């Protein structure tokens, strides 16, 4: 992998950096600047090498195909306010380009001084970004002397800023590399993609909402791991596939065959949640019951129960490698945090005796919310990207393009 250390001298060179400034905004302010702060080490290292930096990032979703939504999306997902914030964090000049290509952008890039930064408006304002449009990638490639990929959360997407641009630069013999953030993610995730016998047992924990979102990763994990623990709402699809009653719990009728296939293939490797904290209403829960085996009546399962927690904790205690994706229950509601919290606590108990990774947008949010960030060896910043790493034997389009 080409890292920052492999880059030649960058004095007065224009380096395009794909960052992840997809930060939550509210009422014109940045609600959480973690992603900006996380990019600083890479930016500082490049500035220290005397480079001029042009930063590309997307922000939110821009629905180009839906004219009724487009204007609102553009207004909502404006990167402008990130520039002064970045300037204050770094103590260097950060200019902003409203233009994402063309004369105005070209002039701003030409006017850049070594050791300063130009942040470009949301790449998704360009309809060609998500299509990996060659013309767009070319417009950026014409301005760049080098490219650094530091947006891990976007590395599973072959877009103009993540794939097209570095591909063109490589063709021209220009240097490309991954930044520190991506390097850290790759080193950590490699250890759950390919697990040596000495790092086993490998325990995977899967939860969250839908089986259909996670078909490929479930298939892969069943091959790779020694035990796979299944909780969260996806459990009810497995229960249903076994002919059990799930009441009003969510399940996916079109995934029953797949669930049966997985259970057969995994055999004793698969440990399915067996008791369920259940309630009468998702929005207004007033009745609470814990059921074993199946859900009763019209109730809906909201979290794993105490027997499942004990079983899962016993399996986790044996792990030398652990990968976790998807909350065990509706952890956003205070009555249903126990299962997800219990996973965090079991990982804390493991301490340094195992290599532990959490990958998933909501599961990582739970880890942060409950205060367990330091108890995991790695909490991935890219939910979808971390799952795709496992699905595709460690390959992502935005990473493969950087490799030799």
Residue 384 designated active-site: yes
The answer to whether residue 294 forms part of the interface with Mg ion (CB under 5 A) is: no
Stretch that binds ligand ADP, among 16-24, 47-55, 204-212, 291-299 (CB under 6 A): 204-212
Whose tokens are 């976790």? That residue is 324
Q: Select from 203, 182, 205 the least CA-distant residue to 385.
A: 182
The 8 Å CB, 24+ separation contacts for 363-369 are 363/207, 363/208, 363/324, 363/325, 363/326, 363/327, 366/327, 366/331, 366/340, 369/331
Can you tell me the distance from the alpha carbon of 266 to that of 74, in angstroms, rounded to the nearest whole number?
46
Residue 157 designated active-site: no
Taking CB under 5 A as the criterion, which residues in 357-376 touch Mg ion?
A: 361-362
Q: Is 146 left (phi over 0), alpha (psi -120 to 50) or beta?
A: beta
Say how many residues touch Mg ion, by CB under 5 A: 2
**Among Mg ion, ligand ADP, none, residue 213 binds (CB under 5-8 Å by kind):** ligand ADP
Give the contact letters, 278-317, x = binds to ligand ADP (CB under 6 A), - = no.
-----------------------xx---------------
Q: Which of 60, 115, 361, 394 is catalytic?
A: 361
Which residue in 164, 360, 382, 398 binds ligand ADP (CB under 6 A)?
360
Cβ proximity to ligand ADP: between 78 and 377 the closer is 377
Residue 18 designated active-site: no
Stretch that binds ligand ADP, among 114-122, 162-170, 202-210, 260-268 (CB under 6 A): 202-210
Can you tell me the distance from the alpha carbon of 10 to that of 356, in angstroms, rounded to the nearest whole number?
37
Residue 311 designated active-site: no
50 in helix, strand or coil? coil
The answer to whether residue 403 forms part of the interface with ligand ADP (CB under 6 A) is: no
**154 contacts: CB under 8 Å, gap ≥ 6:** 18, 20, 22, 58, 161, 162, 382, 385, 398
Can you tell me the distance from the alpha carbon of 254 to that of 268, in angstroms, rounded to the nearest whole number?
24
Can you tell me the distance from the alpha carbon of 355 to that of 322, in angstroms, rounded to the nearest whole number?
6
The answer to whether residue 390 forms part of the interface with ligand ADP (CB under 6 A) is: no
Report, in Å, the least distance between residue 132 CB and ligand ADP: 25
Taking CB under 6 A as the criterion, which residues in 327-356 touch ligand ADP?
A: 327, 329-330, 332
The answer to whether residue 383 forms part of the interface with ligand ADP (CB under 6 A) is: yes
Can you tell me the distance from the alpha carbon of 264 to that of 173, in angstroms, rounded to the nearest whole number?
50
Q: Which of 63, 131, 184, 210 is catalytic?
A: 210
Can you tell me the distance from the alpha carbon of 186 to that of 179, in angstroms, rounded to the nearest whole number?
11
Report, in Å, the least distance between residue 186 CB and ligand ADP: 20
Residues noted as catalytic:
35, 210, 361, 384
Contact footprint for ligand ADP (CB under 6 A): 207-209, 213, 232-233, 250, 301-302, 325-327, 329-330, 332, 360-363, 383
Contact footprint for Mg ion (CB under 5 A): 361-362
């Amino acid at each position: 992998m080409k890292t920052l250390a492999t880059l030649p001298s960058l004095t007065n060179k224009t380096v395009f950096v794909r960052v992840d400034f997809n930060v939550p905004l509210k009422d014109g302010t940045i609600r959480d600047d973690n992603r900006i702060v996380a990019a600083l080490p890479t930016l500082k290292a490049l500035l220290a090498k005397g480079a001029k930096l042009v930063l590309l990032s997307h922000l939110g979703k821009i629905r180009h195909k839906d004219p009724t939504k487009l204007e609102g999306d553009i207004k909502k997902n404006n990167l402008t306010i990130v520039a002064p914030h970045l300037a204050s964090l770094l103590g260097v000049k950060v200019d902003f380009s409203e233009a994402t290509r063309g004369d105005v952008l070209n002039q701003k890039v030409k006017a850049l001084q070594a050791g300063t930064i130009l942040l470009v408006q949301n790449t998704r304002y360009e309809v060609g970004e998500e299509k990996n449009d060659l013309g767009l990638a070319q417009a950026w490639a014409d301005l760049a002397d080098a490219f650094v990929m530091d947006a891990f959360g976007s590395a599973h997407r072959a877009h103009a800023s993540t794939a097209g641009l570095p591909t063109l630069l490589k063709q021209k013999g220009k240097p490309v590399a991954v930044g520190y953030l991506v390097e850290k993610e790759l080193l950590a995730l490699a250890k759950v993609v390919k697990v040596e016998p000495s790092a086993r047992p490998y325990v995977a924990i899967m939860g969250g909402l839908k089986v259909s979102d996670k078909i490929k990763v479930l298939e892969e994990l069943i091959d790779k791991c020694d035990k796979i623990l299944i909780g969260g709402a996806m459990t009810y699809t497995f229960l249903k596939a076994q002919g059990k009653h799930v009441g009003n719990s969510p399940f996916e009728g079109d995934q029953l065959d797949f669930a049966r296939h997985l259970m057969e293939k995994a055999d004793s490797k698969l440990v399915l949640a067996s008791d369920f904290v259940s309630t009468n209403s998702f929005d207004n829960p007033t009745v609470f019951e814990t059921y074993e085996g199946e859900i009763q009546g019209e109730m809906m399962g909201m979290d794993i129960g105490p027997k499942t927690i004990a079983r899962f904790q016993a399996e986790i205690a044996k792990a030398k490698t652990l990968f976790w994706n998807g909350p065990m229950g509706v952890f956003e509601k205070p009555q249903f945090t126990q299962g997800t919290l219990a996973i965090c606590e079991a990982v804390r108990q493991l301490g340094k005796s195992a290599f532990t990774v959490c990958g998933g947008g909501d599961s990582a949010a739970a880890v942060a919310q409950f205060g367990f960030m330091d108890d995991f060896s790695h909490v991935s910043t890219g939910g979808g990207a971390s799952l795709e790493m496992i699905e595709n034997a460690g390959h992502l389009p935005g990473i493969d393009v950087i490799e030799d």
